[in-house]
């Protein structure tokens, strides 16, 4: 069931509305097609949640049909494939700036809404932002740059700032226009639209509606009008109260103002939006889907509606590859999408998603049911041997449970899984399945979940978080089609009841132990009460694989190394990117001008073998000099006159020190490693509290360079040796040791 993870790399340009769209990495989609697809394959994306997936699939030669019901996502997709030029965006902004307004131009009119005074010299300045406190309903601080005295930063607001902010209340003309555009008087959704508008400060809403109305009054070519819509769309996202201060919610999911939020200058947000939409042309074609016509390779055909309306228009059994990013429920995005679509293109454009105004929350049971409905409806047009590959780019436990339950109950069997924990990314592969097996009880499900969690920990050989055990347990049930049976009995209650069953399974202290004191089951790390059958720690497995790869291939990028490691460690063994990079940096150096990594000369096998032999020899000489009896076997032991082992050294070229932490020996063990392993040891200690505790209480790590220096230290003795061994710990990176 384990498949290799499909790594990519963070996008250079995230693109418009990136905080609401699935964070899919560049390169992941093309790797999926290389692994599971065929040249020129016809691909269906039923959810249309990720413009990046659609574009990359077409760039890789796929013929892509995508259903996109959300007009905002559809607009982003359209202008990702047919991007605006920088000139078009700048021209649209310039035309908007020059539009007449109250005897002046629109740009200074909007900027003047944010006028304030410099706290240092009193000069009139334009604020970049005001910081609001939701409880007191007013701005407490302002951020600006003063051209007169060069004062910049954050200063407390004044009474005049409060007065200017209160002039544009949420009950003014612009507020009424904004509301009327979405839900006219008498519309049953009007009160819901009113609630949605509350995330915009009064001054912000005044500026936005003024700009929107002025754009509609301008006589512009279609492309420039669309460019203006793009700028206003990004500005509408940038200036609402969902942006907390100082750090903010990077991916808000509920439509509620942050306790402290930024009221950004709307005109400055328009200026910043130019860079967001100036996207490189992907070199593919976009068409609107025509019935009875399949797209050609390199072309994206868009169906502007829900997949349920598209399915009846497709021929039976013609879909051989379904590739998609599963959408995550996001009440904030869908509600705002209804607002934005109505503002930009009118009530008719927002009608298909207007129902989003009414829904206040999307729970995981609702999402599982929605996925079930969609996927069950797709069965008539899927080839029985179809490849079905789904990315989950925010794979938290609730999302995984909803996805697995929804697909299983819709008639699909989980055939493959890969999970990268650090970035909550998952890849799930499915097949069209036959009928599920006989129903299971919760007691049987608990046993299976416990067994799957035990296996996951044994395979990784190290403590794991709740999300790992949860994924292992739910994937095992989906593989056996058990979730489908349970769903028929419990339906919407299944996720809650089965979640309780899983938590009861991992609460068994005869099987699992918790590392640390935590109340919530989702917190902390879990390990096995009996680790005797566990593999070597995953951190050590990753290190050895990375070293093997670097010694076989001379020039690789980080993504290429990630891909090879993922092939060696698939499924739930997929290591975190941070760990892979730590291993690479421990053994390799980057060629700056080329971007690839190459094994360092000193980590060549022959060189390291010579180093290890030299260090063993020096340790033997040092032990003799200090009056110990040296026993040079697997471990190099220093024995006192009583026959007691005082020091035990293990000279190693790698930092694969995990296997010894479960051993019962009371003799302190000191690992002697190359200096290049220091940061890797520190990373392993950060990940595994068992290793950290073991090294602090029963072990230690010293570097080759310290041994070489101790050999030259004239005043070294048995008495001061313990202190001298601690002067260059693994986390110490300064090449100059402390003064001897």
Please name which of 87, 60, 73 lies closest in space to residue 284, comparing C-alpha atoms: 60
Same domain, 310 and 424: yes
Same domain, 238 and 314: no
pTM exceeds 0.85, yes or no: yes
In a domain, 333, yes or no: no
Tell me how far the alpha carbon of residue 322 is from its chain's centroid. 23
Give the Cα separation of 290 and 393 in Å (integer).
Answer: 31
Same domain, 287 and 426: yes
- Tell me, what's the pLDDT at 277? 97
DSSP helix, strand, coil percent of the chain (3-state; round to 5)? 45, 20, 35
Give the Cα separation of 15 and 11 in Å (integer).
Answer: 9
Q: Among the three residues 407, 433, 459, which one is the final residue of a domain in this structure?
A: 433
In a domain, 457, yes or no: no
For residue 554, the domain's CATH number is 1.10.10
Burial 200-212 (b: 16+ CB within 10 A, else e): bbbbbbbbbbbbb
Q: Among the three residues 414, 433, 452, which one is the final residue of a domain in this structure?
A: 433
Encoded tokens for 26: 């560049």
Tell me how far the alpha carbon of residue 606 is from its chain's centroid. 40
Give the Cα separation of 721 and 622 in Å (integer).
Answer: 11
Give the Cα separation of 522 and 495 in Å (integer).
Answer: 16
- Tell me, what's the pLDDT at 358? 87
Domain that holds residue 201: 99-113+168-276
Give the Cα separation of 433 and 448 in Å (integer).
Answer: 21
Same domain, 193 and 67: no
Same domain, 650 and 556: no
Same domain, 560 and 638: no
Encoded tokens for 595: 């971007």
- Tell me, what's the pLDDT at 422? 87
Give the Cα separation of 611 and 652 in Å (integer).
Answer: 10
Same domain, 612 and 591: no
- Tell me, what's the pLDDT at 243? 87
Burial 704-732 (b: 16+ CB within 10 A, else e): bebbebbeeeeebeeeebeebbeebbbeb
In a domain, 668, yes or no: yes
In a domain, 193, yes or no: yes
Q: How far is CA 478 from CA 411, 442, 475, in A?
A: 11, 14, 5
Q: What is the largest CA-CA distance in the chain?
A: 100
Same domain, 212 and 293: no
- Tell me, what's the pLDDT at 436? 72
Contact 390, 221 (CB under 8 A): no
For residue 380, the domain's CATH number is 3.40.50.150
Give the Cα separation of 631 and 267 in Å (integer).
Answer: 76
Q: How far is CA 247 from CA 103, 157, 274, 325, in A?
A: 40, 20, 24, 28
Encoded tokens for 675: 């200096």
Same domain, 108 and 253: yes
- Tell me, what's the pLDDT at 663? 60
In a domain, 342, yes or no: no
Contact 656, 543 (CB under 8 A): yes
Encoded tokens for 206: 């005044």
Same domain, 682 and 649: yes
- Tell me, what's the pLDDT at 455? 98
In a domain, 531, yes or no: no
Same domain, 307 and 419: yes
In a domain, 522, yes or no: no
Q: Among the three residues 433, 467, 495, which one is the final residue of a domain in this structure?
A: 433
User: Phi then psi for 159, rounded to 5 degrees?
Assistant: -60, -35
* Angle between the N-to-C axes of helices 494-506 and 442-460, in degrees from 0 to 180, rounded to the nearest 10: 50
Q: Region of 98 please: left (phi>0), alpha (psi -120 to 50) or beta.
A: alpha
In a domain, 656, yes or no: yes
Could you tell me which residues come within 8 angstroms of residue 14 by beta carbon, excluding any fewer than 6 positions away?
Answer: none
Give the Cα separation of 154 and 144 in Å (integer).
Answer: 7
The H or E element spanning position 126 is strand 124-126
Give the Cα separation of 483 and 498 in Å (integer).
Answer: 9
Regions in the chain scoring below 70 on pLDDT: 169-171, 248-249, 437-439, 662-666, 730-740
Contact 229, 214 (CB under 8 A): no
Give the Cα separation of 700 and 713 in Å (integer).
Answer: 21
Report the residue count for the chain: 740
Give the chain's domain count.
4
- Tell me, what's the pLDDT at 736? 44
Please name which of 598, 577, 596 lies closest in space to residue 587, comparing C-alpha atoms: 598
The SS3 of residue 7 is coil
Same domain, 56 and 5: yes
């Amino acid at each position: 069931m384990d498949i290799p993870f499909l790594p990519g790399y963070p996008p250079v340009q995230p693109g418009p509305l990136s905080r609401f769209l699935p964070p899919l990495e560049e390169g992941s989609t093309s790797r999926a097609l290389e692994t599971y697809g065929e040249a020129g394959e016809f691909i269906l994306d039923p959810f249309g949640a990720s413009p990046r997936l659609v574009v990359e699939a077409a760039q890789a030669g796929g013929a892509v049909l995508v259903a996109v019901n959300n007009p905002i996502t559809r607009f982003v997709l359209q202008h990702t494939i047919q991007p605006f030029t920088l000139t078009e965006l700048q021209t649209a902004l310039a035309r908007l700036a020059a539009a007449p307004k109250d005897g002046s131009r629109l740009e200074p009119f909007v900027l003047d809404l944010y006028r304030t005074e410099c706290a240092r010299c009193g000069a009139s300045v334009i604020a970049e932002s005001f910081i609001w406190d939701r409880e007191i309903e007013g701005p407490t601080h302002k951020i600006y740059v003063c051209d007169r005295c060069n004062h910049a930063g954050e200063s407390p607001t004044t009474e005049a700032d409060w007065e200017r902010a209160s002039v544009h209340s949420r009950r003014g003309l612009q507020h009424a226009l904004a509301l009327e555009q979405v839900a006219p008087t008498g519309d049953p959704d009007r009160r819901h639209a009113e609630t949605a508008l509350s995330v915009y400060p009064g001054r912000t809403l005044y500026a936005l509606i003024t700009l929107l109305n002025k754009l509609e009054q301008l006589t512009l070519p279609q492309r420039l009008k669309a460019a203006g819509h793009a700028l206003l769309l990004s500005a509408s996202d940038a200036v609402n109260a969902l942006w907390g201060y100082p750090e903010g919610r990077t991916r808000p999911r509920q439509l509620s103002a942050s306790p402290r939020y930024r009221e950004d200058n709307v005109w400055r947000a328009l200026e910043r939006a130019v860079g967001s939409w100036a996207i490189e042309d992907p070199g593919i074609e976009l068409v609107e889907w025509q019935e009875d016509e399949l797209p050609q390779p390199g072309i994206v055909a868009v169906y502007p509606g829900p997949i349920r309306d598209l399915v009846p228009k497709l021929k039976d059994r013609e879909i051989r590859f379904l590739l998609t990013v599963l959408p995550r429920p996001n009440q904030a995005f869908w509600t705002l999408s209804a607002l934005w679509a109505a503002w930009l293109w009118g009530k008719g454009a927002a009608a298909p998603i207007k129902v989003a105004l009414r829904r206040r929350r999307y729970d995981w049971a609702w999402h599982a049911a929605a996925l079930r409905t969609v996927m069950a409806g797709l069965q008539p047009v899927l080839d029985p041997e179809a490849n079905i590959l789904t990315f989950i780019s925010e794979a938290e436990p609730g999302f995984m449970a909803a996805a697995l339950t929804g697909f299983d109950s819709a008639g699909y069997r989980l055939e493959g899984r890969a999970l990268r924990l650090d970035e909550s990314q998952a890849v799930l592969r499915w097949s069209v399945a036959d009928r599920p097996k006989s129903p299971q009880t919760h007691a049987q499900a608990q046993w299976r979940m416990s067994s799957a969690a035990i296996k996951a920990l044994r395979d990784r050989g190290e403590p794991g978080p709740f999300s790992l055990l949860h994924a292992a347990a739910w994937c095992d049930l989906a593989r056996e089609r058990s979730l489908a049976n349970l769903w028929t009995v419990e339906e919407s209650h299944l996720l809650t009841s089965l979640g309780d069953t899983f938590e009861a399974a991992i609460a068994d202290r005869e099987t699992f132990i918790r590392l640390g004191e935590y109340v919530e089951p989702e917190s902390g790390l879990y390990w096995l009460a009996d680790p005797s059958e566990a593999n070597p720690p995953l951190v050590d497995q990753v290190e050895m694989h990375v070293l093997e790869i670097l010694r076989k291939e001379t020039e690789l990028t980080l993504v290429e190394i990630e891909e090879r490691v993922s092939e060696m460690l698939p499924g739930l063994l997929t290591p975190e990117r941070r760990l892979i990079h730590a291993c690479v940096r421990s053994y390799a150096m980057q060629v700056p001008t080329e971007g690839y990594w190459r094994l360092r000369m000193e980590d060549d096998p022959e060189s390291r073998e010579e180093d290890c032999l030299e260090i063993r020899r020096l340790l033997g000489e040092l032990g003799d000099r200090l009056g110990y009896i040296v026993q040079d076997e697997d471990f190099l032991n220093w024995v006192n006159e009583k026959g007691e082992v005082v020091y035990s050294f293990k000279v190693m070229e790698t930092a694969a020190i995990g296997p010894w932490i479960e051993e019962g020996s009371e003799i302190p063990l000191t690992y002697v490693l190359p200096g290049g392993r220091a940061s890797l040891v520190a990373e392993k200690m950060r990940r595994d509290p068992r290793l950290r505790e073991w090294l602090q209480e029963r072990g230690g790590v010293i570097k080759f360079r310290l041994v070489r220096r101790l050999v030259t230290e004239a005043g070294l003795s048995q008495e001061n040796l313990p202190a001298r061994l601690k002067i260059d710990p693994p986390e110490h990176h300064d090449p100059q040791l402390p003064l001897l």
